[in-house]
């Protein structure tokens, strides 16, 4: 996923234009009197009310459409129509991240971001219109991440697992199957090291191309099932020091067998 800071650096250096290039708003340099003002200089105004109830936090991923102008009216970037972008809130420039955290799903909001809150990407302020489509919350660390509970099943290989949600399908994947899954992974001290959930996009792969614990474990699952796996080191990354070490815990949802 492209980091937001890099995305905006490239866009500011090389402005992007679409066929439906939007014109700068009439209040580009003069926020209306009823706009919300923060002590740090951020100004925002809701343009369209949302239907959601939860605000993003600094740990979340957001799915958005947006338009960015410099305060001189130069169009920086325009993501609209059927397009959208997944952005990690903590990777957004400071002012934009703060503005998005004021929003709920379905809302459209305009933010006047002073140069001091633009992360040093421009000497000018930015004006960003954002539509928040969806919020993806960071998965909660399992309470039993340290070791499998007494009711977990264990295979002869040492793989432990517990079904969190029963599947709705009848098929189970084979070793040569390609599957689509959502997953989150933790070390046994509770540190998350990877999550497709936070990226907002399922992962697809052949079962023969992943770690042994996944190859074995996913063949036990049915479509729609969500299962927690405790995968010992020899079925995970072994002595590969570039990867997480020791027993790893994964929550995996089998979305589809291709």
Structure tokens at 246: 């020791």
Please enumerate in sequence order all residues whose Cβ is within 8 A of that of 258, keeping only pairs 6 or more positions apart, or say none. 177, 178, 179, 180, 204
Question: How many CB atoms lie under 10 A from the CB of residue 70?
Answer: 20
Please, what's the largest Cα pairwise distance for the chain? 69
Please, which residues bridge with residue 77 across strands?
A: 68
Nearest CA to 182 among 223, 232, 241?
A: 223
Task: Check if the beta carbon of residue 65 is closer than 8 Å to that of residue 138.
Answer: no
pLDDT of residue 200: 75
Other beta carbons within 10 Å of 11? 17
pLDDT in tens, 43-94: 999 999 999 999 999 888 899 999 999 999 999 999 988 888 888 898 899 9
Domain boundaries, the chain: 4-136, 153-257
Mean model confidence pLDDT for the chain: 90
Give the model confidence (pLDDT) of 106-128 as tens digits. Answer: 999 999 999 999 987 677 899 99
Please report the pLDDT score of residue 120 as a whole number. Answer: 75
Q: For residue 192, with 0-12 CB atoms within 10 Å meaning exposed, 13-18 middle and 19 or more buried, which class applies?
A: middle
> What is the C-alpha to C-alpha distance for residues 172 and 169, in angstroms, rounded to an integer?
8
Instruction: Provide the CATH number for the domain formed by 4-136 in this structure.
Output: 3.10.50.40
State the average pLDDT over residues 1-15: 43
pLDDT for 121: 66
Distance CA 234, CA 241 (A): 13
Condensed to tens digits (0 to 9), the pLDDT of residues 24-45 reads 999 999 999 999 999 999 999 9
CB-CB contact of 79 with 141 (8 Å): no
Q: What is the pLDDT of residue 123?
A: 79
Estimate the share of the chain in helix, then strand, then coil, as percent rounded to the nearest 5: 15, 35, 50
Q: Is the pLDDT of residue 4 over 70?
A: no
CA distance 14 to 10: 6
Name the DSSP class of 195.
E
Residue 137's pLDDT is: 83
pTM for the full model? Answer: 0.64
Phi–psi pair at 133, nearest 5 degrees: -90, -40
* Cα pseudo-dihedral 43, 86, 226, 258, rounded to 10: 160
More confident residue, 16 or 193: 193
Residue count (the chain): 258
Domain 153-257 maps to which CATH number in 3.10.50.40, 3.30.930.10, 3.20.190.10, 1.10.4160.10? Answer: 3.10.50.40
């Amino acid at each position: 996923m492209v980091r937001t800071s890099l995305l905006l650096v490239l866009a500011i250096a090389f402005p992007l234009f679409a066929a439906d290039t939007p014109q700068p708003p009439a209040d580009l340099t003069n926020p209306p009197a009823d706009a919300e003002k923060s002590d740090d200089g951020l100004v925002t105004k809701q343009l369209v009310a949302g239907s959601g109830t939860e605000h993003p936090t600094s740990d979340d991923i957001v799915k958005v459409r947006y338009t960015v102008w410099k305060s001189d009216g130069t169009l920086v970037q325009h993501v609209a129509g059927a397009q959208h972008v997944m952005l990690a809130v903590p990777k957004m420039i400071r002012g934009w991240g703060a503005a998005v955290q004021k929003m709920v799903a379905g809302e459209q909001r305009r933010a006047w971001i002073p140069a001091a809150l633009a992360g040093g990407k421009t000497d000018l302020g930015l004006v960003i219109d954002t539509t928040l489509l969806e919020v993806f919350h960071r998965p909660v660390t399992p309470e039993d991440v340290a070791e499998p509970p007494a009711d977990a099943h264990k295979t002869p290989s040492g793989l432990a697992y517990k079904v969190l949600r029963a599947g709705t399908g009848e098929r189970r994947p084979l070793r040569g199957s390609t599957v689509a899954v959502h997953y989150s992974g933790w070390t046994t001290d509770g540190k998350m090291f990877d999550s497709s959930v936070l990226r907002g996009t399922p992962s697809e792969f052949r079962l023969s191309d992943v770690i042994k614990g996944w190859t074995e474990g996913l063949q036990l699952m049915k479509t729609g099932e969500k299962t927690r796996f405790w995968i010992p080191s020899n079925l995970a990354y072994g002595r590969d020091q570039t990867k997480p070490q020791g027993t790893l815990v994964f929550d995996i949802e089998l979305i589809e067998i291709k």
